[in-house]
């Protein structure tokens, strides 16, 4: 063991938020907490048990995998496991190879001549680097497994939290783990667990990742334009939905956007019964508002508010959607005047259009008479549902309400 793993010895001059400090802190926890050490071993190799291995020796920031070892019989080698430890760590697909590269290993845990574990630690979201599969042995008799193991920081931290929350550790062992979790929350908050909303604490980044995971489970897919977004292909009336945590709120928001393009609008407003049922969702807790904007190629621009009720807005487009089409520059002024005269758009709509289109080099634009639909849960309610494993179904149920109104297959039957 190097002196850096003594609890009371400062570790060089690195700042508290440096990833080397996190590595050292983790090794301190493993050294002082047998329960944490055994749980860590389960991530590294499920078949390993601490009681059947020789006492562990810990080192950090060292070049050599092994410095001293007992003589081994000819032909024998120490089994080795290389670990890629990172937030949402992806599987390392490269095969292990002996390298002559210059290296400084983040962590080395040696169990006599029976096992050595080398850890490459990262605190940012990135693809696996070459470090976990290219290691300089410096001639040591170590045989690493062909495939490095990937371990997620979120899982490690959730495991440590569980040890404390379930009273599986006590006394000084409990205090060491608690101090470590406090240290991570203060200096590395983004790598913390997000297996439930409650575990995200007040960290928006983790909460957004949790809601993204819930949305993926609810919809049953991963396609979308960013965190919380998921695409649909079950109906031409709507394309996407978002589950997230809006700024300056204490709610979780599910937002869906029927008629978000001219094609979707034609499909929706050509079906008055769907429009009627969609508006009726307000009686089930949904907010339904106009979401008019303009399209050019694949992009949306110049969002505008409507001074009329949602009933009048939808009735207008039910009546006029068949005549709606892409407009050339010479048609813009007259079309905008008609929308204002019919009280479908207010004056700010023309101002936004002029900024995005009239003052640009664009020659065509098409109206997108969309709708904005939102269902919200108070954050505490969502956290309670999530803690009981019920929030995914709650989100799926609300999405299905929208799909039923749109005469589309539900997520359960699509």
In the structure encoding, which two tokens stand for residue 220, read together? 């049953």
pLDDT tens digits in sequence order for the chain, 414 residues long: 455 555 545 555 666 667 888 999 999 999 999 999 999 999 998 888 999 999 999 999 899 999 876 566 566 889 999 999 999 899 999 999 999 899 999 999 999 989 999 999 999 888 899 999 999 998 889 999 999 999 999 999 999 999 998 999 999 999 999 999 988 888 888 888 888 999 988 889 999 999 999 999 999 988 888 899 999 888 999 999 999 999 877 999 999 999 999 999 999 999 999 999 999 999 999 999 999 999 998 889 999 999 999 999 999 999 999 999 999 999 999 999 999 999 999 888 889 999 999 999 999 999 999 999 999 999 999 999 999 999 999 999 999 999 999 999 999 754
Domain boundaries, the chain: 3-189, 198-405
pLDDT value of position 9: 52
If phi > 0 it is left, if psi is from -120 to 50 it is alpha, else beta; for residue 128 that is beta
Give the single-character DSSP code of 355.
Answer: I
Long-range contacts of 18-23 (CB under 8 A, 24+ apart): 19/106, 19/121, 19/122, 19/123, 20/60, 20/61, 20/106, 21/187, 22/121, 22/123, 22/184, 22/187, 22/188, 23/60, 23/61, 23/106, 23/107, 23/119, 23/121
Q: Which residue has the tokens 């977004």?
A: 229
pLDDT value of position 47: 82
- SS3 assignment, position 301: strand
Intra-chain end-to-end CA distance of the chain, in Å: 58
pLDDT value of position 247: 80
- SS3 assignment, position 254: strand
pLDDT value of position 1: 43
């Amino acid at each position: 063991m190097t002196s850096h793993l003594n609890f009371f010895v400062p570790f060089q001059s690195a700042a508290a938020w440096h990833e080397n400090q996190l590595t050292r802190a983790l090794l301190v926890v493993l050294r002082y907490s047998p329960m944490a050490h055994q749980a860590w071993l389960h991530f590294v190799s499920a078949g390993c048990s601490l009681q059947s291995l020789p006492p562990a020796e810990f080192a950090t920031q060292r070049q050599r995998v092994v410095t001293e070892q007992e003589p081994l019989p000819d032909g024998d080698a120490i089994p080795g496991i290389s670990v890629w430890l990172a937030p949402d760590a992806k599987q390392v697909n490269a095969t292990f190879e002996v390298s002559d590269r210059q290296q400084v290993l983040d962590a080395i845990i040696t169990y006599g001549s029976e096992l050595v574990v080398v850890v490459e630690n990262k605190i940012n979201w990135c693809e696996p680097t070459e470090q976990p599969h290219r290691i300089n042995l410096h001639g040591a008799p170590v045989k690493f497994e062909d495939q490095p193991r990937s371990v997620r920081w979120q899982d490690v931290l959730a495991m440590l939290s569980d040890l404390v929350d379930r009273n599986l550790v006590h006394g000084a062992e409990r205090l060491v783990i608690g101090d470590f979790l406090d240290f991570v929350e203060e200096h590395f908050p983004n790598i913390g667990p997000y297996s439930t909303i409650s575990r995200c604490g007040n960290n928006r980044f983790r909460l957004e990742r949790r809601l993204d995971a819930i949305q993926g489970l609810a919809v049953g897919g991963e396609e979308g334009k960013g965190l919380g977004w998921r695409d649909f292909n079950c109906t031409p009336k709507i394309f996407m939905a978002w589950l997230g945590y809006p700024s300056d709120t204490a709610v979780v928001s599910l937002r869906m956007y029927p008629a978000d393009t001219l094609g979707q609008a034609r499909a929706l407003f050509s079906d008055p019964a769907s429009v009627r049922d969609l508006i009726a969702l307000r009686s089930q807790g949904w907010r339904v508002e106009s979401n008019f904007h303009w399209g050019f190629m694949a992009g949306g621009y110049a969002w505008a508010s409507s001074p009329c009720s949602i009933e009048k807005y939808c009735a207008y487009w039910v009546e006029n959607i068949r005549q709606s089409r892409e407009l050339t520059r010479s048609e813009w002024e007259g079309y905008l005047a008609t929308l204002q005269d019919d009280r479908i758009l207010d004056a700010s709509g023309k101002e936004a259009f002029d900024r995005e289109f009239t003052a640009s080099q664009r020659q065509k634009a098409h109206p997108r008479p969309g709708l904005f639909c939102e269902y919200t849960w108070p954050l505490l309610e969502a956290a309670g549902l999530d803690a009981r494993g019920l929030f995914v179904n709650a989100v799926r149920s609300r999405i299905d309400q929208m799909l039923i109104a749109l005469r589309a297959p539900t997520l359960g039957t699509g």
